Structures are given as structure tokens and as C-alpha cells.
Amino acid sequence: MKKTTLTFVLTFTASAVFAQNASQVQKLFEAGEYQRVVDAAQPDAEADRVLDSVAHTSPAELMEARLRIEPALAELIVTNATPADFERMETCLDKAERGATLDEFELWDAALHQAIATATHNRFVIRVLDMVTAVRQQAEWGKLKDRIVTPERRIKYQEEHRNIVRALKERDAERARAFIIDHLQHARRNLFGF
């Protein structure tokens, strides 16, 4: 189920960006045609489309996607994370907690979620989370968060973050996954009331 969700998300996103079939790409590569195919696909236009989809993603769409993607990463992280990954997560936790303003907290909150994705050691997943961060940095999203992230909620989010990182460190994918779902559902409730 978890693997199916992740596979679906990755396949779904990948199909928009890359050729559908890895063996097809391999054959093209061996035939020396790969670059020609890539050039023909107009990478500039593709990059524009990616930026465009970031700019037009609503907070509700983003939250829907995050709730499906981020919990599914727990298994990959408990398998692949290194001590350096956990250090990066701890740094984000500390900086978020010490942040003097809600903006600073937000910044380190996003950095933590990205650090968690980095710990999958899957470049494609990391790229997807880069896009999540890019959407979160949009002005409209920022204003929405300003109204929603109160000091009390921030304390609760910090606890949730600690629980997620602790479970990942203990290589407990099930608990980490449950904590990630709780955290994102909590954020969604605060944002949209459901």
C-alpha cells in the first residue's frame, strides 16, 4: 500500500517530466539518440512549465499532495538515512525552535521537511520536495500561514517535528509515517478547518 502510493506519485510525476519507459530511454541512449530526443523535447519549455505549475499551485493542492507524498517517504528514510542526515534534521529542529519570529520558524519548518526528503537519498524525491518548498515560499501561501500559525500551534508543530525525527532515528517507519500524517493533517486543519 505504502509502496504503491509512492510508486504512483513518482510514476505520475515522472511521466510529466521524463520519458515513460526506462528501457526505452536506455535503448535510445545506446543508439546515441538520447541527446537528440532531449533537445527535441525543448528543456527550456519544460523548465518553464515546471515553474508555471509551481506558481499556480494552491495551498489546498499542495497540502493534498504533501499528505500523499511525505508519509510514503518514511520507509525509504529508515533504510537510507545516514548520521549526517539526522544531524541536518536536528539543526533544522533547533533553528526552528530558536527562531525569533514565525517567519523564521516557517523557514526552518520547510528546511526540516526538505532535510527529511533528502534523507531518502532519492534524487527524484528530493526534487519533488524542492518544488514543495518553492510553492510554500509563494507570497499568497506566506500570508495564509501568517494568519494561521499562532505561537501555541507553533509549539505543537515543534513537538510533532521532534516525534517524526525521533521515530526516523529509531528506524521505525510505521511510527514515523503515522507522525508525519498527524502533523500534516494538523497543519491542514489549521489552514482549512478540515
The contact set with Zn ion (CB under 5 A) reads 109
How far apart are CB 27 and Zn ion at their closest, in Å?
Answer: 42
How far apart are CB 143 and Zn ion at their closest, in Å?
Answer: 18
How far apart are CB 109 and Zn ion at their closest, in Å?
Answer: 4
- Judged by beta carbon, residue 28 or residue 148, the one nearer Zn ion is 148
Angle at 116 between CA 112 and CA 122, to 5 degrees: 140
- Judged by beta carbon, residue 85 or residue 109, the one nearer Zn ion is 109
Contact status, residue 176 vs residue 78, Cβ threshold 8 Å:
yes
- Judged by beta carbon, residue 48 or residue 61, the one nearer Zn ion is 61
- Judged by beta carbon, residue 51 or residue 60, the one nearer Zn ion is 60
How far apart are CB 161 and Zn ion at their closest, in Å?
Answer: 6
- Judged by beta carbon, residue 46 or residue 68, the one nearer Zn ion is 68
How far apart are CB 63 and Zn ion at their closest, in Å?
Answer: 12
